[in-house]
Amino acid sequence: MSMATWGWAALVLTVSACSSGSSVPLQPGTSGRDKTGLEGTARLGPIQPVLREHEACDAPLQAGFALQQDGHVVVRFASDSTGHFLVYAVPGTYLVVPDHPIGLRPQTPEVAVQAEGLTHLDLTFDTGIR
């Protein structure tokens, strides 16, 4: 295969990967060693008015969020159907802002992304069901 053919094949693969519809988290650097950010879960609850033994009282939340710093959106991310999320961001303090209101009252927790590795964050939104 010629170099030109390899070049076109790489371009097609790159475009295909970029247009797959999946959200790619922001990469904080180019070396691959400096991946810092947030990972965790988003949950919504209670999901029923009466708690029953051996039944979950909350559920995974699939939703979109933004990390904001000084009133500006730094990066957008989403939790999946299991409520899990992973977003890369440089170390610093951010507000986690849902794309749409969730639960009883607005909730925008402040979180500090640590200088090394991923910072764990569990988000819980109150439905008000009692």
> Cα dist. 129→29, 58, 95, 101, 110 in Å?
43, 11, 26, 16, 25
Name which of 87, 128, 127 is nearest 111 in CA terms: 87
**88 with 35: CB under 8 angstroms?**
yes
The mean pLDDT of 80-95, rounded to a whole number, is 97
Q: What is the pTM of this model?
A: 0.71
Separation of alpha carbons 78 and 29, rounded Å: 21
Structural tokens at position 80:
């999946």
Q: 88: which DSSP letter? A: E
The percent of residues above 70 in pLDDT, for the chain, comes to 74
pLDDT digits (tens, 9 = 90+) for 11-43: 333 333 333 333 444 444 544 446 999 999 999
Q: 27: which DSSP letter? A: P
